[in-house]
Every structure is written in structure tokens, then in C-alpha cells.
Amino acid sequence: MPSQTNNFAYVRGEILPLDNAFLHVSDLAIQRGYGVFDYVKVSQGHPLFLEDYLERFHASARMLHMAVPLSDKALRDVVYELIERNDMGVSGVKMILTGGYSGNGYDPAEPSLVMLQQPLSLPGQEMLARGIKIITHAYVREIPQAKTINYTMGIRLIEEIRSKGASDVLYQQNGVVTEFPRCNFFIVAQDGTVVTPDSNVLLGVTRKNVLALAAKKYKVVERAVTLEDVYQAKEAFLTSTTKRILPVVQVDEKTIADGKPGPVAHALLADLIQLEEEYCRQQVVR
């Protein structure tokens, strides 16, 4: 692990140096991969759209029958305390809730809440200008609406993604595409409609923001998206908290349109950056 002596984390009720942030091996995350998490981006000292992330964190916890041990007020206080003490710049605060220290290694106990702040590099100008290649893989996440810690498939595919010179993997099942391990997916259809899969996906906060921004300028629809739709699209792009909007120009061996990022992704990225800045300004005014 990287030594970060000035980085503080929250573990089961205590704020302590990240170097001392440990869970006992009886924790159900270690024993049974049982947990949910969420991740909010920090910019100019503000956790962007925190209310949306907290709402989803609670929803994920409920789907796994776990209770978040802190009130929203207390969660927010920890987020802000970590941001202040770590003084990290553009970064992310991750909150993980696990099944807790289980007596028999199977039955859930009092959940463990862990919160950490991690540095974050946004995609560079070159990547945005060139777009990325992605591969596809037949898979649907087990409980797509919940942000569980189960990334077995995504991590197992890292080697294949790299060996094919790609940047990420888009899940599909029977030719219907859904999401990336950590990002949502959009296309711009030939008639200019902005389209994103409507089911078997995590409801990303950036996805929600991009849908709202797109609706101001374009026709927008949430529906099933097939691989054939993707091949015929004018543009394709992914959205996520850490990547914002990243154009996709190649899917497996198929080039999308002319193989270059398009104007819709570009315009929406500018709008999203503006929305983030407005959010920060509003926080300051409060």
C-alpha cells in the first residue's frame, strides 16, 4: 500500500491515519465479499452532489439488508472532516459499508463503515481528444441497482482489456449492452437522440446529470440499447464520477462513425464542468 502519512481515514467510528486503517479478517468483506460502497468526487473542497451519493449509498445498503450506522448529518460531518484534514485537491471520498465482524464468517454482524479519501486524476486532454477503444463481455451484474463491492468480473478482465489495447469493457447480454464495471454508457443515434440503457445498470449520478443536461439541447431517451445500435451510432461515450464524459470511438473491432469524438460528447462535457462549478459556487454562498 502507498504510505500516506498525512492522509486520514474513518474506520468503524474512529478517524485515524490511513496507514493505521485496518479491518479484522473476520469482516464479511474479507470472508464473503459482502459490502456496498459509494464514491463522491471532491473539487475545490466540496463533495460534488453529495446528497445524491448518500441517497444511493443508503439504497445499496438497504438492498443488502444493512443499516448505515451514521445519520446523514454525521456522514456529511465525516466527509467534510476528511476533506479538511487531508487537504488533497481534486480527489474522491469513498465510503464502504461491509457486513461487519462476523462470529462465524457468514452471518452479518454490526456493519463496518470505512471512509477514505483518494487522489484522483481526471482524463487528460489527449485522451478526450482521441477517444478510447473498448471491448465487450457477456455479463450482467448480480444486483445491478446496488453498488456492491463485487468487481470480480471487471478485475478479472483487466488483463484482456490491456492485451487488446482497450481502455475498458462494456457488459452486454444477448446483444443488449448495459454498463461498464464503473461507468454508464450513452450513444447518440443517427437522428441525434441521446440514448442510454434503461435497465440492468447502476443509476450513476453523472448519468443523471448528463441526462438532465442533454434534455436541454437534445431529444433524450432511456431504453434498451443493442450492440447493433452502438455500431450504427453517430457518437458513443461513457460517463462516471471520476471520468465525467469520455468519448468511445471503437467497440471491439468496429469503429464508431468516423472514429473521432463527436460534438455532443464535447458539448455535454463542457456543460457538466459548468454544472460542477455552479454546484461549488452554491456551496460557498451557503
Site residues (vs a second copy, CB under 8 A): 1-2, 9, 11, 18, 21-35, 63-65, 94, 96, 98-99, 101-108, 114, 116, 118, 139, 142-143, 148-156, 158-159, 182
In the complex with a second copy, which residue's Cβ is closer, 193 or 242?
242
Q: CA-CA distance, 152 to 111, in Å (whole number)?
A: 22
In the complex with a second copy, which residue's Cβ is closer, 51 or 160?
160
Q: End-to-end distance of the chain based on CA atoms, in angstroms?
A: 38
Q: How far is the CB of 19 from a second copy (least distance, A)?
A: 8
Q: CA-CA distance, 107 to 99, in Å (whole number)?
A: 8
Q: How far is the CB of 29 from a second copy (least distance, A)?
A: 5
In the complex with a second copy, which residue's Cβ is closer, 118 or 250?
118
Reference 264, options 227, 228, 211; nearest CA is 211
Q: How far is the CB of 245 from a second copy (least distance, A)?
A: 20
* Amino acid code (one letter) for 161: I
Q: How far is the CB of 122 from a second copy (least distance, A)?
A: 14
In the complex with a second copy, which residue's Cβ is closer, 103 or 165?
103
Angle between helices 263-285 and 205-215 (to 10 degrees): 110
- Listed in sequence order, the DSSP H helices in 182-248 are 205-215, 227-231
Look up cell 440492468; give the residue: 200
In the complex with a second copy, which residue's Cβ is closer, 21 or 238?
21
Contacts of 211 (CB under 8 A, 6+ apart): 194, 196, 220, 222
Q: How far is the CB of 224 from a second copy (least distance, A)?
A: 21
